[in-house]
Structure 1
Amino acid sequence: MLFKRRKRADFWERVRMFLWPRRSFWRSAQYFAKRALRLRATPHAIAGGIAAGVFASFTPFLGFHFILAAALAWLIGGNLVASALGTAVGNPLTFPFIWGATLQIGRSILTGGHPGEAAPLHIGRVLRHLDFAKLWEPFLKPMTVGAIPLGLAAAIIAYIVTRWTVITFREQRRRRLLEKARRRAMAETAIATAGE
């Protein structure tokens, strides 16, 4: 293959690349943006898919974000590939902020704006014994409730920005192609006139 690595990446190298890309997060974000812009779908489908992926990233159900994003995209007529790209909003840098915000908002919604003291919980013990019931009430339930308003707000913003960007990108591309075709036609006309 043309762009294949000379030395295959081992497990730890792949983990490191997942947590910290070799060429920075900004370059990865640009790559995802360009992939979304070049999808062959309507602006609504691309924007709907991205919005579904963004919303899914706000839920605390790690490992199910792609499935949830695909289901939401299918429901609203979004693009499935765009929904997968939209889940990139949830990454190791943003998850602590997303989870903290959804937990706080969910607790204040569930308690009516008067968050009480959360009982101390030894998360390691709960995870070791896989006691889902003990993890649901203090963490997952408030995070799920808090994910709905935050995820909806982020998804609406992502939809508006993505739709506008796709329409603008396609209009600029159409103008560039028209200009290129016009110049080519003028050059062919000039060559034909010179040959006479």
Structure 2
Amino acid sequence: MFRRRNPLSRTHRVLNFFWPSIGWRRAGSYSLHRLARLPGSAYSIAAGFACGAAISFTPFVGLHFILSAILAWIIRANILASAIGTAVGNPWTFPFIWTWLYQTGTWLTAGEVLSGDKTPQFSEVFGNMMEATLRLDMVYLMETVAPIFWPMLASSVPTGLMIWGVFYFPLKYVVGRYQDRRALKMAGNNGDQEPLQ
């Protein structure tokens, strides 16, 4: 029930995630509709999504799901909504997120911002960081990762707080209105039913 007659292939689902075939506007509206139907209060859903979005603005690549779930659990928010919120960080947005975190973090820590050909190759650094951690390659971690990671971490705190608010307040309003309309509709449908004899 409610399944496609012709299921999408895995490749098509991946492509559809990065470039929705129904268009960005309809995809956004559909995602918001599904988000609002999650169990929980408007606060729980909005705060959960905001946690996922905020954690996406941290340099802990590969740990966003776990960290957003922990943060959501701490503030009693919806953990599933937090997982959905991590989609704010994706291959389209990560280059901008990482550049923002590095540039502002370097400014906050009064460091020297690399430019031109010296701009960090974030994808390569984060990819190698996991391997270096498993190998306990302290030379690579201290000389290559640390000068990039620490400024980004410093910037992620104020940025994450700002992003949390940017998503939480509008979502709480929208989800709250959706839930109120749905409750009224369900109450009306129940009232239209004839009582059993």
Per the shorter chain, which TM-score range?
Answer: 0.7 to 0.9
Q: Is the 8 A contact 2:114 2:120 kept in 1?
A: no
Q: Is the 8 A contact 1:32 1:85 kept in 2?
A: no
Larger Cα-atom Rg: 1
Q: Output one character per residue of 1:34-80: Cα deviation in whole Å (capped at 9) or x when no partner.
A: 22100111222112211110111101222211011101001111111
Cα offset, 1:155, TM superposition: 0.4
Residues 170 and 19 of structure 1: CA distance in aligned 2, closer, same or farther (over 3 Å): closer
Q: Is the 8 A contact 1:118 1:138 kept in 2?
A: no
- C-alpha RMSD over aligned residues: 2.9
Between stretches 37-46 and 124-133, larger displacement belongs to 124-133
Which residue in 2 is equivalent to 1:39? Answer: 38
Which residue in 1 is equivalent to 2:78? Answer: 79
Greater RCO between the two (CA within 8 Å, min separation 6)?
Answer: 2
Identity of aligned residues (%): 34
Runs of 4+ in 1 over 2 A off after TM superposition: 1-10, 13-32, 115-138, 174-182
Unmatched tracts of structure 2, length 5 or more: 133-139
Residues 39 and 125 of structure 1: CA distance in aligned 2, closer, same or farther (over 3 Å): closer
Q: Output one character per residue of 1:142-176: Cα deviation in whole Å (capped at 9) or x when no partner.
A: 11111111111010121111211121111122233
Query: Residues 134-173 of structure 1 correspond to what in structure 2 (within 5 A)?
Result: 134-173=143-182
Which residue in 1 is equivalent to 2:22? Answer: 23
Distance 2:8 2:166 in 1: 41
Unmatched tracts of structure 1, length 5 or more: 190-196
Relative to the length of structure 1, the TM-score reads 0.77
Distance 2:25 2:141 in 1: 36
